[in-house]
Amino acid sequence: MNTEDIQARMASLAADLNRHNHLYYVLNKPEISDYEFDQLLKELEKLEEEYPQFADVNSPTSRVGGDITNKFEKVKHARPMLSLTNTYNEEEISEWVERVVKAAGKPVTYALELKYDGVAISIFYENGKFIRAVTRGDGETGEDVSANVRTIRSVPLTLHGDYPESFEIRGEIFLPRDVFDALNREREESGEELYANPRNTAAGTLKQQDSGEVAKRKLDCYLYFILSDKHSFRRHTEGIHQAASWGFKVPSEKEQMISHATDVKEIMNFIHHWDKKRFGLPFDIDGVVIKVDEMDMWDELGMTAKSPRWAIAYKFKAATAATRLNKITYQVGRTGAITPVANLEPVLLAGTRVKRASLHNADQIEKLDIREGDIVFVEKGGEIIPKVTGVDMNKRELFSQPHSYITHCPECKTPLIRNEGEALHYCPNETGCPPQIIGRMDHFISRKAMNIEGLGTETITGLYRKGIISDASDLYVLKYDDLIGVEFTITDEFGENERTRTLQDKSVRNMLSGIEASRNVPFERVLFALGIRFVGETVARKLARHFRSLDKIRAATREELMAADEVGEKIADSILVWFSDERNVRMAEKLRDAGLQLESVESGESVVSDKLAEKTFVVSGVFSSFTRDGIKQSIEQNGGKVVGSISKKTSYVVAGENMGPEKRKKAEELGIPVLSEQDYINLIQ
């Protein structure tokens, strides 16, 4: 192919991928399979690697991230990002409507929208291309998070249809609730602290430096406000319609996520509808936004100090109910964390029957003086598990006693500990406390760890309680006769419903073949499977690449551990603690005997020299004797480290042909030596 053909092929692939992306993520109507999509993407990726001079920043390949931002540039908003005045009841809405009608001197139409509980974003487009995405910041100045926002599949990178030449569009970035829950389940498995709610997590994600990590998070975005000098719509909702035709994800009219009203009654109907239905949405909302639809009124109505007069927010009250707290019980988590649970007289809350609620921790119980027998208020916010928010003191029984928090683990009777500055009590008996042991084994067999098919939580729990296994390494010595006909009782997590299960021929065979297959799982996943606190999937991968074997990790000092990517003091200490426990070491030895992969085997990464040890490289442009990945691999094989962007810490930039001018300028500014391909070859020879 000549260069023109190549350019044309790249443009056509990009156009196809953009269209399929839009069909899948915005319209929910895919036309091709994920596999076909990946094939197209791979072809484009390959061409971009070979011909980086033709690669576009808005290429569909930027969805997978990879760009690193060391410092988010400050950007002043062309027009300040305002907030909305909040209202909490019908009366306040009526007053606002009255003011609007008076100022307008005529009846007006209202656009009704959901108030997404996420992070505000402003995105700027020029000639149909994504240029820049900026956070709200203080309303006047925000931060450029373009590389991260480019990874959000529902944000178009190139527009179609009849869009204004240059405009800004604002909206809300959020983390869908199921993604948030899955993320927290994973964190729980690897013993990491749980995220508080989807909103904070979305905000934190948007400020991550590695856009590759952001891409994995599956953020989403709804757009709700267009700012442009030249457009052909006069109503806000018409603008939203048009934005949809340019490729944006906007709220669905069919599902009534956006609607119209002409009076307070209709506004209140919309509010009541969503107040009830909001928990059924796949994301969090915290209210409804009401906007004057006729945009010619906006200037006339003007602004208060911080918010426009043409729009107002109605904030939902958390759904609450009052009921009797029968008993306080305690659950021991997989990491040993103790959570107090309120066992309630069943009560209807936001459409579901609630029997249990979270009491958070000892401080919370003491602060609210919550006692068994009290009538308590239960609230359902964004979280799935309702919480107890207070006590009806007027209804307290005469002889009620303050609650005394447990001092010993309800499962294994070990005295609990509470670390300085932490809210939760822990059972420190990591290797002897049943829920912790079962939790660790459950993590070991999970999909992202050893992925043992034919084995689940129930069976693990049953086999442990029967004394057939006591840690994960025991799985590898199990034989058909140990398992066939074994009978165990299964209770749900609250110890309520019981049933019996007997292991039959088919499930025993499945189990054994699943265990057998797991002997080939690569080292990095075995390391993750061990369940060392704070060693999640990514850290395990980095550790495996750095040390290449479990023995080397075990032999490493704190400083040596911290030399690995992403390993700080907390993780290093946790690894040291893990290996200091004889029981863990013994289990690892048993896993070795069972033939598990405790070393990395990929030959491609084998060490050639340590000539580049402690040196950090940035690679840019095209090379003649290496592919881009090839030169990166060569650096790593010689002990060096490759990062994505230039900073003070960079030792060298290796420049091929067509190195980006921005990168060259930055290297010069920071006085970082720029090596040619030949200079690099000389360096390693």
CB of residue 313 to ligand IVH, shortest distance in Å: 5
Write down the least CB distance from residue 69 to ligand IVH, Å. 22
Backbone angles phi, psi at 504, to 5 degrees: -105, 170
Catalytic, 71? Answer: no
Q: Which helix (H) or strand (E) holds 134?
A: strand 129-135
Q: Which stretch binds ligand IVH (CB under 6 A): 127-135, 307-315, 450-458, 647-655?
A: 307-315
How many residues interact with ligand IVH (rule CB under 6 A)? 14
Task: Confirm if 144 and 70 have CB atoms less than 8 A apart.
Answer: no
Mark residues 66-105: x for contact with ligand IVH by CB under 6 A, - for none. Answer: ----------------xxx---------------------
From the list 108-116, 144-152, 510-518, 604-612, the region that binds ligand IVH by CB under 6 A is 108-116
Per this entry, what is the length of the chain? Answer: 685
In the set 72, 96, 110, 116, which binds ligand IVH (CB under 6 A)?
116
- Beta carbon nearer to ligand IVH, 130 or 174: 174
- CB count within 10 Å of CB 62 equals 21
Taking the least distance from each CB to ligand IVH, the nearer of 285 and 587 is 285
Residue with smaller CB distance to ligand IVH, 82 or 362:
82
Determine if 113 is a binding residue for ligand IVH (CB under 6 A).
Answer: yes
Residue 134 contacts ligand IVH per CB under 6 A: no
- Candidates 3-11, 115-123, 418-426, 467-475; binding stretch for ligand IVH (CB under 6 A): 115-123
Please identify, using beta-carbon distances, which residue of 14 and 258 lies nearer to ligand IVH.
258
Structure token digits, residue 509: 């065979």
Residue type, 277: K
Q: Binding to ligand IVH (CB under 6 A): which residues in 9-48? A: none
Question: What is the DSSP code (8-state) at residue 138?
Answer: T
289 is a contact residue toward ligand IVH (CB under 6 A): yes
The type of residue at 95 is: E
Least distance (Å) between residue 202 CB and ligand IVH: 12
How far is residue 514's CA from residue 508's CA, in Å, rounded to a whole number?
Answer: 10
Among 110, 180, 224, 652, binds ligand IVH (CB under 6 A): 224
Annotated catalytic residue: which of 46, 71, 115, 611?
Answer: 115
Q: What is the DSSP string of 51-87?
A: -GGG--TT-GGGGG---B-SSPPEEE-SS------EE
Q: Of 444, 440, 447, 457, which Cα lies nearest the Cα of 491?
A: 457
Q: Are 297 and 70 in contact (CB under 8 A)?
A: no
Alpha helices in 105-235 (DSSP H): 146-149, 177-189, 198-206, 211-216
The CA distance from 457 to 461, in Å, is: 6
**Closer residue to ligand IVH in complex, CB, 311/515:** 311
Q: How far is the CB of 293 from ligand IVH (least distance, A)?
A: 13
Residue 123: other Cβ atoms inside 10 A: 23
Is 308 a binding residue for ligand IVH by CB under 6 A? The answer is: yes
Nearer to ligand IVH, 221 or 289 (CB): 289
How far apart are CB 301 and ligand IVH at their closest, in Å?
12
Count of Cβ atoms closer than 10 Å to residue 513 Cβ:
13
- Judged by CB under 6 A, which of 48, 143, 168, 172 binds ligand IVH? 172
Amino acid identity, residue 89?
A: N
How far is Cα 263 from Cα 108, in angstroms, rounded to an integer? 9
- Nearest approach, Cβ of residue 82 and ligand IVH (Å): 4
**Comparing C-alpha atoms, which of 638, 647, 644, 645 is closest to residue 614?**
638
Q: Is residue 258 left, alpha or beta, with left meaning phi > 0 and alpha meaning psi from -120 to 50?
A: beta
Nearest one of 430, 395, 385, 531 to 472, comparing CA atoms = 531
Nearer to ligand IVH, 83 or 245 (CB): 83
- Binding segment for ligand IVH (CB under 6 A), chosen from 109-117, 158-166, 259-267, 467-475, is 109-117
Q: Binding segment for ligand IVH among 114-122, 451-459, 529-537, 655-663 (CB under 6 A)?
A: 114-122
Residue closer to ligand IVH (CB basis): 83 or 127: 83
C-alpha distances (whole Å) from 241 to each of 223, 233, 245, 246, 273 are 11, 10, 7, 9, 23
Looking only at residues 310 through 329 of this chain, which bind ligand IVH when binding is defined by CB under 6 A? 311, 313
Which are the contacts of 304, defined by CB distance < 8 A and separation ≥ 6?
A: 85
DSSP state of 492: -
Report the interface residues with ligand IVH, using CB under 6 A.
82-84, 113, 115-116, 120, 172, 224-225, 289, 308, 311, 313
Give catalytic residues, as residue numbers.
115
